[in-house]
Structure 1
Amino acid sequence: MRYSSSVNKGARGFRGVVGESKWARLLELGVPRVHGPRVPLLRQGDPGTTVLVLLSGRVKVFGTEPDGGRLLLALRGAGDLLGEIAARSASRRTATVETIDRCTVSVVPAERFNAFLEEHNGQAALADYSLSKLSQTVPYQVELVHFSPERKIARLLLEVVALADDAVADRYRVPFSQQELANSLGVVRSTISQHLLRLKDSGALRQDHGHLVVADPGLLRAFAGL
């Protein structure tokens, strides 16, 4: 399968770091797969035998607690790598990755991914990318401890709509149920309901045919403290 290597000025993630020609070469090393929403792509504890290159759609990354609880660690979108740390170190995966939308990935065997990095002097690019991912992940832990539920909700909703690509039919539609929001943020559902009602009353959010929609991103940013 051939992929276009034309310049994409809006590229993000690892794609934005390595550039279009190397990105296209990386895709040629893998096998494309399409997955529907809410499908586990990688599981915590499994061996890191592959790297997933995310071509379209959004995913959530979460850790599983001993009691079965799930702690949201990050959201990822098109242009990101999934599972590259375990593949580089030949270790077990430290988190589970699950699709939010219909997603297209390229499945690259770990040995091919590592050879790609060697061939293209990609270690520095991967280090830069990993650092950027870390800077995005740490705020989730800070928010869980220090932010009000309303601010946590607003920031999560802003991020998930920002990651929507052209494959998402309605980029401002929130792809989470109230229970999923509660699980992701570590709060009870009644708290989520209370603050969503306030956000809807303010005009930042609205309900559309049973789905939550970001109606005013600027106002939602104010609630997020951004």
Structure 2
Amino acid sequence: MRKFTRTLLAGAAAMLALGTVACSGGTSTQAGSPSATAAPSTSTATPFPQSARYMADAEKDGKKMAIGISVDGDSVTAYACNGTDDEAWFFGNQSAGSIDITSKFRDTLAASFTGSDVTGALTMNGVTYDFTAAPVSAPAGMYTAALDGARASWIIRPDGSVTGVQFNGGISGRDFEQAELQQLNAAQFQAQVRNKRKLQQADQTVKLSGNTLTSRINGSEVTGHLVTGTTRFG
């Protein structure tokens, strides 16, 4: 009888010890119990290469937009245009593989690097274009040139096709007084500032040599240069 009792007590102690180990292991805790802990989150951000260029063609409701992005270190320059009468330049920085930039005409570009492509959304003139931009190498890229107050900009694809817009002014310095701009809602800004720009298709005849482009602005020959992540202008 005593032997049986000792055996029963030993078995009970072993079962109690096993239960304690199981509860303290962390993996067998029931979900939703007070002691349950959520799995640690992991970041999905992928750093950009030190220097790279990306390009995409996007479409929404029959409207097409060409997009170019250049990254150099933390600096980012992007350009989007429809090849006829709309464009946007974006100047800013990337952080941990993410881009979130607003142009001076209130267009927005938000994107992230996937490790190979850049995916995101471009919003221009109230239309949002989802895009995936693939990496490109020279001579493909964005190019721009200026002459007598006009600026022509081009996106040159790897197959040599061209999409570009020329800006011919049409906005007074008064439109850019910050105190006034802050008082304008989205609709007022579109009508009084953004849509007062004079835009037309850029000359489609271009020649490339290295990182320079030769074309014309209003009939005069100009030399354009490759846009990098550090390119800046007003």
Shorter-chain TM range is under 0.3
TM-score by length of 1: 0.25
Work out which of the two has the higher radius of gyration on C-alpha atoms and give 1 or 2: 2
TM-score by length of 2: 0.25
Structure number with higher helix proportion: 1
Normalized per residue, which structure has more strand?
2
